[in-house]
Amino acid sequence: MAKGNGDAERVEEVLGERLGRGIIAVGRPQPDTLLVTIEPGTVLAATQALLDDLGARFLVSVGTDRRPISGDFAVTHLFSLDQSHLYVVLECPVASENPEIDSITPLIPGAAWSEREIRDVVGVSTRGHPDPRRLLLPDDWPEGVYPLRRDFPYNERPPAAEGTRPAWVPTPEGASVVTLGPFFPVLEEPSNWRLFVEGETVVGCDYRGFYNHRGVEKLGDSVMTYNEIPYLAERICGICGFIHSTCYCQAVERAAGIEVPRRARYIRTMMLELERIHSHLLWLGIAGHILGFDTVLMQTWRIREPVMWLAEVITGNRKSYGMNTIGGVRRDVTEVTKARILEVLGPVEKESLAVRDAVVGDTTLHMRTKNVGILENAWARQVCVVGPPARGSGVRIDARIDHPYAAYDEVVPRLCAHDEGDIWARVLVRIEELLDSIRLVREAAAGLPDGPIVAEITEEIPSGRIGVSTVEAPRGEAVHYVLTGGDNRPWRWRVRAPTYPNLQAMPAMAAGGNIADIPITLGSLDPCFSCTERMETVDVRSRNVRVYSPAELLAMSRRSGRPGGGS
């Protein structure tokens, strides 16, 4: 894009003035992507320039073990200049003898988890990080073992470290602790929180998650090929399967310079918006359930069901699996199928409008959601939230508009945003996007062009190229980063789901609220947690903590009678 080209020159100019000889190299992997390799000692100055002078928005950080290639590590910070439709990739080589680099978290609070994860999985520490605790490794993972280093086998199971326990934030003076999770009735996935309370008022909280890290990225750069990974990517999230497979495929296509046929782009758009429709309906139902308004749950899930049937008609699966491939899609949308889509959308729209009218006028819902779980605009920007939580706080970002992909350059979404920052604003954003997605599917179906649905790929994907892709999931922007490698697989694949930045906003949203409002405050983020297979127990008499292994839990579940759990 011409606009992106001009702004890329502006970025080069600003960084050149700030860093001087601190810039090692500048490249343009794609017209809308600027790759700037810098001396690691200049990372703070570069980040400050991107934020202050250019208005860049942080996406995610990536740690890469490049020792077999160049003898060092790399820390890569991804930024977006939304109005310019430009990605800026800030790459810092890190010496293998002393793998350490300055933390950018003091400048960007939303980078906290990314930098903690880099330390966990690659072993590059960040100087000056305000919270250097582990993030995703199990509490009993041995020190000095880094699973995303190239010399760590994908199927390795290191011995558990002895005498370990979770590192929680200290309880504030005068506060009590209320534990929420890891399981509780209104969220079916594990989420472990310590709420710091004074009476009924929450004054702070701490989160411990990642209890079942599935090793998706490790599988992607060790044993799976480029065109096998889409089937893994679509299982990252039970709701956003097509979103993640699209995001991954686009990252590879961009890195390899593969031009996706226009018809395939339109089909992807239709599938992405159908996934948004059923996800928003699912979330509205769960939100009603959390608040005790089960009529909303029953109605929205009833409305959602024909959309799931449509997914099965198109893809053979209610969850739209097996549709994407590198270069396009595997199944076409016929005229008969297109007519069926339009036939189903009519009643879905009519009934969704009825639910909207009922919800918008409900006084009890207003009482439970207005001025509750407030996320201020300034903090939403600093912690880098995305999706409905961002747009509900007046942060007007949407990957479909900021970095148009699929057919969104022609089928243009409406940006739905509100400024109040409370749960009610997030509800309104969801409802408005649900209705707009119905419009977008209709427009994509009407404009579906003729032509092939997949590009013919005749050459091997070259190694050493990067691709950055963002896709707007119902929960918010997903990011996939790919560094291509040899042997028909990526050298590095980094995934950032929307829940990753959004959960970091929870402490601010919970502070000052009532304990009873915490479930819907958390639910308003529409969090997606991985399933868990491990747990810890506390002996109430001795206070001893024990972590049970998967094998022990399986043996206990098969045992009959007491003690042992199971009957």
CATH number (domain holding residue 283): 1.10.645.10
> Considering the entire predicted model, what is its pTM?
0.91
Are residues 462 and 540 located together in one domain of the fold? Answer: no
- Residue 545 — pLDDT band, cuts 50, 70, 90? low
Position 165 scores a pLDDT of 78
Instruction: Determine the structural domain holding residue 556 and report its residue range.
Output: 534-567
Give the three-state DSSP class for 42. Answer: helix
Under 8 Å between Cβ of 448 and 420: no
Task: Give bridge partners of residue 195 from the DSSP assignment.
Answer: 178, 205
Instruction: Please give the structure tokens belonging to residue 40.
Output: 């690691």
What pLDDT, on the 0 to 100 scale, is given for residue 542? Answer: 64
Residue 184 in domain: no
267 and 226 housed in the same domain:
yes
Is 380 in the same domain as 519? yes
Residue 178 maps to a domain: no
Boundary (domain end) residue, out of 166, 183, 199: 166
The confidence score (pLDDT) of residue 157 equals 87
Query: Token digits for 132?
Result: 């250097």
* pLDDT tier at 210, thresholds 50, 70, 90: confident
Q: In this structure, are 339 and 282 located in the same domain?
A: yes
Provide the pairing of β-strand 33-38 with 86-95: parallel
The identity of residue 77, as a single letter, is H
Quickly list DSSP for 143-161. TT--TTSTTS-TT--PPPP
Q: Provide DSSP, 191-218.
A: -EEEEEEETTEEEEEEEE--TT---HHH
Average pLDDT, the chain: 90
Domains identified in the chain, total number = 3
Quote the CA–CA distance of 263 and 249 in Å, as a whole number: 16
Query: Is there a contact between 467 and 481 (Cβ–Cβ < 8 Å)?
Result: yes
User: Could you tell me whether strands 192-198 and 201-208 are parallel, antiparallel, or unpaired per DSSP bridges?
Assistant: antiparallel
What is the mean pLDDT of the segment spanning 35-52?
97
Region 252-272: mean pLDDT is 98
Q: Is residue 204 part of a domain?
A: no
Domain shared by 377 and 482, yes or no? yes
Tell me: pLDDT of 563 over 50.
no
Instruction: Mean pLDDT check: name the lowest of 59-73, 116-130, 177-191, 439-453.
Output: 177-191
**234 found inside a domain:** yes
Mean pLDDT calculated for residue range 31-59: 97
**Same domain flag for 419 and 485:** yes
Do 267 and 238 contact (CB within 8 A), yes or no? no
Inside any domain, residue 408: yes
Q: Classify residue 373: in a domain, yes or no.
A: yes
Do residues 24 and 155 both lie within one domain?
yes
| pLDDT of 555 above 90 | no
CATH number of the domain that residue 113 is part of: 3.30.460.80
* Cβ–Cβ < 8 Å for 528, 189: yes
pLDDT single digits (tens) 488-538: 999 999 999 999 999 999 999 999 999 999 989 999 998 876 533 334 444
Average pLDDT estimate for 234-247: 89
Q: Residue range 357-371: average pLDDT? A: 92
DSSP string, 48-62: HHHHHTT--EEEEEE
Greater confidence (162 vs 176) lies with 176
Q: Are residues 497 and 545 in the same domain?
A: no
Rounded Cα gap, residues 502 and 75, in angstroms: 22
Query: Tell me, what's the pLDDT at 162?
Result: 85
- The whole-number pLDDT of residue 221 equals 87
Residue range 427-448: mean pLDDT, rounded = 97
- pLDDT over threshold 70, residue 3: no
518 plus 540 within the same structural domain: no
- 6 — pLDDT class (breaks 50, 70, 90): confident
529 within domain boundaries: no
* 8-state DSSP, 545: E
Q: Is residue 471 located within the same domain as residue 557? A: no
Beta bridge partners of 207: 193
Within 20-85, strands assigned E span 23-30, 33-38, 57-65, 72-81
pLDDT digits (tens, 9 = 90+) for 392-407: 999 999 999 999 999 9
Task: Give pLDDT, residue 137.
Answer: 87
> Does the pLDDT of residue 99 top 50, yes or no?
yes
Residues 6+ apart with CB under 8 A from 19: 38, 39, 42, 45, 46, 49
Residue 549 confidence (pLDDT): 63
- 200: in domain: no
Q: What is the pLDDT of residue 164?
A: 78
519 & 538 share domain: no
State whether 545 and 500 are in the same domain: no
Read off the pLDDT band of 561 (50, 70, 90).
very low
Query: Does the structure show a pLDDT above 90 at 167?
Result: no
pLDDT band at 453 (very low <50, low <70, confident <90, very high): very high
Q: What is the pLDDT of residue 566?
A: 36
Of the candidates 166, 201, 229, which is a domain's last residue? 166
Predicted pLDDT of residue 543: 56
Residue type, 237: C
Percent of the chain with pLDDT over 90: 77
Residue 185 has pLDDT above 70, yes or no: no
Environment class of 402 (CB within 10 Å of its CB; exposed 0-12, middle 13-18, buried 19+): buried
